[in-house]
Amino acid sequence: MTKLADIADTRMLPPLLQDFERLIGLQATLTLVQAYGGLRIYIPTPARAQPDHPMAKIIGHANLLILAEVYGAESHFQLPKAHHALVALRNSRIAKAYLTAKTARELAAEYCLTERHVERIVAAAGIKAPADRRQSQLF
């Protein structure tokens, strides 16, 4: 399964998450997305951003204070899920793994997909299985 922290190119993230990444780092941003992605959130003012705040427990008090300085007391807004960025990353990793060594079957099991879906992802990337790998599966 794709881990959120594996996103290397933050340009795939929605603009709000790119700003969060710039402020508190990728890991904290994606941890926040895992917890609240797709939901309307409210970031408290710095005075109300206490260590026992639910967001502080998820991303750390220091990171919450940073977000509170910029976004505190704004009206509620929806936190993006970053679904497209995660799918693009997953597909890229599948194509790379297929090209180097793994079979569609192995990748399907690893990513909880069907073999046919893995084959579509690989085909969309323009990758064909090396001939020697296809033949070795016959033995």
Tens-digit pLDDT profile for residues 13-28: 899 999 999 999 988 9
Using DSSP, state whether 1 is helix, strand or coil: coil
50 shares a domain with 29: yes
Asked whether residue 91 falls in the same domain as residue 63, the answer is no
Q: What is the token pair recorded at 129?
A: 């299985």
Measured CA to CA, the distance from residue 43 to residue 49 in angstroms comes to: 8
More confident residue, 90 or 65: 65
Q: Which residues of 49-87 are buried (b: 16+ CB within 10 A; e: fewer)?
A: beeebebbeebbeebbbbbbeebbeeeeeebbbbeebbe
Is the pLDDT confidence value at 8 over 70? no
* CA atoms of 69 and 1, how far apart (whole Å): 34
| Between 11 and 23, residue with greater pLDDT | 23
Q: Structural domain of residue 122, as residue ranges?
A: 83-136
Is the pTM of the predicted complex or chain greater than 0.75? no
Asked if residue 91 and residue 74 are part of one domain, the reply reads no
Higher pLDDT, 134 or 99: 99
Residues 36 and 97 grouped into a single domain:
no
Boundary (domain end) residue, out of 62, 78, 94: 78
SS (H, E, C) 112-137: CCCHHHHHHHHHHCCCCCCHHHHHHC
pLDDT bracket for residue 131 (50, 70, 90): low
On whether both 87 and 67 belong to a single domain, the answer is: no
What H or E segment, with its residue span, contains residue 77?
strand 77-78
